[in-house]
Structure 1
Amino acid sequence: MKKIFGWLHLWLGIASGIVVLVVAGTGSLLVFEEELEHAFRSSFFYVEVPANTSRQPLDNLTAYVQRENPKYKVGTILVEPEADRSVVYLLRKGKGNKVLKNQLYVAVNPYTGKIIESVPGNKRFFSVVLQLHRYLCMGETGKFITGISCSIFTILILTGLILWWPKRNNRKQRLSVKWNASFKRLNWDLHAVLGFYVHIVLLVIALTGLVWSYKWMNNLLYIAFDGNTKQQKIVAPESPAVKNTGIAYLEKMVNTINERLPYEGTITIRFAENDSTSIATSKENRARHSNVSDFLYFQAGTGELVKERLYDNESNGTIARRWVYPLHRGTLYGWPTQILALIAALVATTLPISGFLIWMGRKKKKKKPEEKIQAVKKQALPLDKHPDTSVQYQ
């Protein structure tokens, strides 16, 4: 059985190695996406708070952004609770609004009402990294490839654990890296031992990745927690927009959200693609684990509350589905789980490389005995039958 698992581990690893390398490498960057982006581009996200100056209404900021970017349409607004944070807009244009070149990120100073910076989606570093991670920058074809590779990686984790499993007298060797050993032995330890220590974290990341890749995996989640696959999709209810009301309805919406959901958290406003659908808003509850959000829906133009959808009222399957993202990304409980996810992703990045070196080492090892056998046969031949014509007959 170990030979079969070894064969599977080897050839599946070779087949998926490059994709695993790319996905794991980009995944390690995405673990601390927010922290890294805020550190290296702080001027985009943070502003100085002037004395005795209040924030301008969100409606004024939005109208200004739209005027300055007439080719785009406002898709999403992010409003942070901190006083020193900019308001970030995601603008889209055209039918292919998921294409990076059709996206524009705009940061606005909420006190001056001026645009701080505008960044096209295809020039935002982490947007490109995410496209590589999910789609290999190849659209649906890339998603298909990463889905298969994620499935293979799950098998590699399980077969790797079986191959690693030590005998009674060999446990110490399988649990520690011999740093002063030869390169060949050190490479094997880094592949097998480090792989073992992070295999549980990697298995969680791989399985949660499969939920995004395959509908059947998503259905299994709902069957496990709800007993059926009837998923209540989070869609904005119908509510035709009312135009030219003269109401600062976006500011009214924010005030209503903060009144009904009095905890601290980021408010996300998502505009519908048509005028017959309500505006979907969500507020992340930072007091609980990552990705806990309550949804409120408002009528465009009036800011009247149409519907609310609270996290605590969701089905067990929907709540479990909300856990998938923070589990996959490692943000479930903040820094401790993020560090675990980062270490696991970095180890996963090295596994295709160390595994390939192990395979190459074994190929060379197999060649050496064959070369020796050929050399012995060559020496045993009679001189008159020696293949080397330069040999002088005696």
Structure 2
Amino acid sequence: MRTTGKNIAAKLHLWLGLGSGLVVFIVALTGSLLVFEKELEPIIDARFHTIVPPDNAQRVPLDELVTTATTQFPGKKLSRVIIEPHPDRTVVVELQQSKKAKDILAVALDPYTGKVVEARQEQDAFFSVVLRLHRYLCLGDTGKIITGISCVSFLIIMISGLVLWWPNRKNAKQRFTVKWGASFKRLNWDLHAIFGFYVLPFVFLIASTGLIWSYKWVNNLLFYAFDGKPQTKREAPANQSSVSLKSADLLEEMYAETNRLLPHSGAITFAFPETDSLAVTVSKRNEEAAIDNIVDFLYFDNATGDLIKKRLYDGETRGFKARRIIFPIHTGSMLGWPTKIIALIVALITASLPITGFLIWWGRGRKKSGVVRQRSVEKTLPRQPQHNRSVVVAASNKLSEG
């Protein structure tokens, strides 16, 4: 029974591994880059994100920055404004270029001079490409299906791998220690099996949380577990005023009020509605919170700037809070640098598993083909006459007697 179970596990491990290996490699490798996206983005595209703040300079009002961006790039709809809490960072104004949700022109402005520093197609930015590779292999809905199936396959691969790794009394020691001085074949097996065992709990957690983005029913299952109902769509409320003339410093007033109501440090994002009848959504990330991805939301009247509604993290449902934690668990940003370093190591080891696994399979295939060739050669050789073999046996017996 045990042998049968291991045989089934071996077949699942092999064929699912061969089928999803390349996808797992790409997803894990891109995932290792995304772990430090927040830290690497300002370095990779420094001109877009960073400026040198002058001494004792005043920031230009947000309304003026937005006007500059929309004037220099006319015919595009204002989508978002992102303000980082650091003095050496640009203010990014995102403009919708077409009806496609991801067709965004991002304009970076110096918050002290009000001038445009740089503009880029957000789809072409380095980490935008990395993220599309990670989630969809840059293949849209088709890629999403492929990565979703590969993610499920990888969960089965890990379970079957644990069955194959499980030690007995004779090999218990070698199942936990890599023999670095061994032959390439043995070392490769150790790197695959032993490293795979050590990262298995982390990888299983990362892959499981990844299903949230692949399948809507998994996302709803999370909300059913904590709230007893599926996720409800959050929309900006309608404006309370009928004023058509907007204040010249409307966004600056919203910005100041947001910092007053939410005094903690963190990036602030303005999200503008499709129509002027809806409120402006202003979210602020709490960088002082114990865990990552804690965000509060405020809704302001699009015409007067008056606060309409608060949606603070502390008042959210358990399902929404659980959903917020999924992202830092998946990316390793849960507790900052310590968990990010763990996530990076785990992602790199995971990317190596399809390679070491393929080498194990390839080596076994070559060994089997070598045995087959040897047997075919033996069949073609002429057989020794029976009397010759008798002479050899007799001589051997005499030597042993003597």
Q: Which bracket does the TM-score occupy, shorter chain normalised?
A: over 0.9
Aligned residue number for residue 336 of structure 1: 338
SS in 2 for 1:170: coil
- Residue 78 of structure 1 contacts residue 269 of structure 1 at CA under 8 Å; is this kept in 2? yes
SS in 2 for 1:198: helix
Structure 2 CA distance, aligned partners of 1:292 and 1:328? 15
Instruction: After TM superposition, list the pairs within 5 Å mapping 1:305-320 onto structure 2.
Output: 305-320=307-322
2:234 corresponds to which letter in structure 1? I
Post-superposition shift, 1:251?
0.7
Aligned residue number for residue 79 of structure 2: 75
SS in 1 for 2:231: coil
Provide structure 1 residue ranges, at least 5 long, that are not aligned to the other structure.
Answer: 384-394
Give the TM-score, by structure 1 length: 0.92
Post-superposition shift, 1:361?
0.9
Post-superposition shift, 1:107?
1.2
Provide structure 2 residue ranges, at least 5 long, that are not aligned to the other structure.
Answer: 386-402
Post-superposition shift, 1:232?
3.1
Post-superposition shift, 1:382?
9.0
Post-superposition shift, 1:242?
4.4
Is 1:55 the counterpart of 2:59? The answer is yes
Match of 1:44 among 43, 48, 65: 48
Match of 1:89 among 72, 86, 93: 93
Aligned residue number for residue 222 of structure 1: 223
SS in 1 for 2:142: helix
SS in 2 for 1:306: strand
Tell me which structure has the larger Cα radius of gyration: 2
Aligned residue number for residue 360 of structure 1: 362
2:314 corresponds to which letter in structure 1? D
Structure 1 CA distance, aligned partners of 2:180 and 2:96? 52
SS in 2 for 1:317: helix
- Residue 298 of structure 1 contacts residue 306 of structure 1 at CA under 8 Å; is this kept in 2? yes
Deviates more, 1:215-224 or 1:346-355: 215-224
Deviates more, 1:44-53 or 1:326-335: 44-53
SS in 2 for 1:230: coil
Post-superposition Cα deviations, 1:246-285, rounded to whole Å, max 9, x if no partner, equal: 3411111111111111111111111112222211111111
Instruction: After TM superposition, list the pairs within 5 Å mapping 1:239-250 onto structure 2.
Output: 239=239, 242-250=243-251
Structure 1 CA distance, aligned partners of 2:303 and 2:54? 31
Structure 2 CA distance, aligned partners of 1:179 and 1:330? 29
SS in 2 for 1:168: coil
Structure 2 CA distance, aligned partners of 1:242 and 1:14? 63
Instruction: After TM superposition, list the pairs within 5 Å mapping 1:37-186 onto structure 2.
Output: 37-98=41-102, 102-186=103-187
Post-superposition shift, 1:139?
1.0
Post-superposition shift, 1:379?
1.4
Post-superposition shift, 1:245?
2.4
- Residue 81 of structure 2 contacts residue 91 of structure 2 at CA under 8 Å; is this kept in 1? yes
- Residue 5 of structure 1 contacts residue 163 of structure 1 at CA under 8 Å; is this kept in 2? yes
- Residue 28 of structure 2 contacts residue 350 of structure 2 at CA under 8 Å; is this kept in 1? yes
Aligned residue number for residue 31 of structure 1: 35
Post-superposition shift, 1:381?
5.6
RMSD: 1.7
Aligned residue number for residue 348 of structure 2: 346
SS in 2 for 1:377: helix
SS in 2 for 1:20: helix
Post-superposition shift, 1:49?
2.2
Post-superposition shift, 1:135?
1.2
Structure 2 CA distance, aligned partners of 1:378 and 1:221? 65
Post-superposition Cα deviations, 1:310-368, rounded to whole Å, max 9, x if no partner, equal: 11111111100101111111111111111111111111111111111111111112222
SS in 2 for 1:169: coil
Structure 1 CA distance, aligned partners of 2:247 and 2:86? 28
Structure 2 CA distance, aligned partners of 1:111 and 1:46? 12
Alignment CA distance shift 1:220-1:246 (3 Å)? closer
2:112 corresponds to which letter in structure 1? Y
2:203 corresponds to which letter in structure 1? L
Post-superposition shift, 1:143?
0.9
2:143 corresponds to which letter in structure 1? G
Q: Percent same amino acid at aligned positions?
A: 50
Structure 2 CA distance, aligned partners of 1:223 and 1:306? 29
- Residue 21 of structure 1 contacts residue 350 of structure 1 at CA under 8 Å; is this kept in 2? yes
Structure 1 CA distance, aligned partners of 2:215 and 2:74? 38
SS in 2 for 1:148: helix
Aligned residue number for residue 397 of structure 2: none
